[in-house]
Amino acid sequence: MPQVKIIAKNFMDMVASLPAIKLDLLYRNQFICEAILRSLPPLAKKYVLQMLYIDIPITSKSLQEWLLADGSSKHKVAIDRLIQLRVFEVIDRKKETTYKLNSTFQTNLRKHMISGGILPREPMPQSVTARLPTSEELDAYAHEQWECFLLQLTSSGQAEKSTSFSDSMMRIFQRGLLRQRDKEAPRLTESGFQFLLMDTNAQLWYIIREYISNSEEQGVDQADLIAFLLELSFHTPGEAYSLDTLTDDQTTMIKDLADLGLVKLQKGRKESWFIPTKLATNLSVSLTDSSSRKQGFVVVETNFRMYAYSSSKLHCEILRLFARVEYQLPNLIVGAITKESLYNAFENGITAEQIVTFLQQNAHPRVAEKLPSVPENVTDQIRLWETDLNRVEMTPAHFYDEFPSRDVFEAASDFARMHNGLLWEDAKKMRMVVKAEIHMLMREHLRGQNK
């Protein structure tokens, strides 16, 4: 079976993957330095803050003196992270390794700690913006935009309103999640099916990561884009910020982010502005943060019947990926998990573990409190039906027979076994099957035996 191909990386992993020169440029922004500090493991934060006003290198032994007795594993994680982000510069000496804070990072974090920092834009006065959407209205808008975005993957015709997603966003779909042949409608790839079963946080990170990776094709520097996204996380959700304060590249980014529901665009009589939603201000939060998990809606019974308390067309389309939807009421989707529906899911690249995880993460609150939230006989059967498809494993191989003598056959058998390539042998009739990868070695060996 195909394995999960999509890995939604943490934002700071993307930052760490930048070249050293671009990282140093990022650290000229005080807010990015604070965002980096916030993202660090607790022990790494302690090292940074204790070394903030130390201008000389600190030896590895001195750092370990700040540890508790059981902190060695945490120390290694902290040091590795600081080196990855180039917050620590390693100075190798003959006797002992020493560490020093990145001078650009150190200088700008000091300034930020003292002055607090000033964003390049301030919220617009209410006299200009008049009534702004409430927190609940913004959350509803973000949810609607994200659902509309995902419906493009399942069936664009299901969207309740006409969509006008930017070309850059649609290219992200076309590259990894959709495929389209000549004169055919776009179809989901294996990665696309897997993507739909991810939780919202993981989906968002995948799209943002791909957007950043493809930004240079649009003439936008990756470091500038990451800097703007991190800066955006320091804006206040629900406040209005003028579009006139943005560069041309940033204006393009904001319009793309509006497609995802990260910001809401509004226009007044004379000015236009954007309003960050909670999705935008949480961009620098780790994927493991579960505070934004949405309430579940699925109930699975021991007889494989499934009830989803939702009015969302997107939820209905996602459930169709692995279950048979029988009918849909205004606020209830009724279906069943069948062998046929699961086989269809497996053939599309979805794994049993992804299905089980989706059902567990989206369990209705009434059953989420129980352990297990999905009946064990259902989860076990889903896994068993997957193993049904894995009973036969195809291995490229070559068949050998008509050996001139038993000595040559036994020597060839030992040679194949030594190279871990013997799949089957019949000693009585002097026949064997070996892996294709050692075929050329076997040929050379047999030629040597015939000489």
Q: Which residues of the chain have pLDDT under 50?
A: 1-8, 156-162, 286-292
Find where tokens 């076990």 sit: 380
DSSP 8-class letter at 184: S
- Give the integer Cα–Cα distance in Å for 6 and 379: 23
Q: Per the confidence metrics, is the pTM higher than 0.85? A: no
Helix, strand, or coil here: 314? helix
Q: Which CATH class is domain 397-450?
A: alpha beta
- Position 163 scores a pLDDT of 54
**Listed residue (413, 399, 395) closest to 449, CA to CA:** 413
- Give the integer Cα–Cα distance in Å for 381 and 153: 28
Q: Output the six-digit token pair for 174.
A: 């076309």
Q: Cα–Cα distances in Å, from 133 out to 59, 117, 138, 242, 243?
A: 53, 27, 6, 16, 17
Q: Describe the crossing of helices 439-450 and 406-418 by its angle, rounded to 10 degrees.
A: 150
Residue range 238-265, pLDDT digits in tens? 999 999 999 988 998 899 899 888 999 9
CATH number of 11-115: 1.10.10
The CATH 1.10.10 portion of the chain extends over: 11-115
Residues 6+ apart with CB under 8 A from 398: 433, 434, 436, 439, 442
- Position 27 scores a pLDDT of 92
Q: Cα–Cα distances in Å, from 219 out to 127, 213, 248, 289?
A: 37, 12, 11, 33
- Give the integer Cα–Cα distance in Å for 160 and 313: 9
Q: Cα–Cα distances in Å, from 450 out to 17, 135, 405?
A: 55, 83, 10
Residues forming a β-bridge with 101: 88
- Position 2 scores a pLDDT of 36
The CATH 3.30.70.2610 portion of the chain extends over: 397-450
Do 93 and 57 contact (CB within 8 A), yes or no? no
Residue range 266-305, pLDDT digits in tens? 988 888 999 999 888 777 654 444 444 567 899 999 999 9
The rounded Cα 381 to chain-centroid distance in angstroms is 28
- Position 47 scores a pLDDT of 94
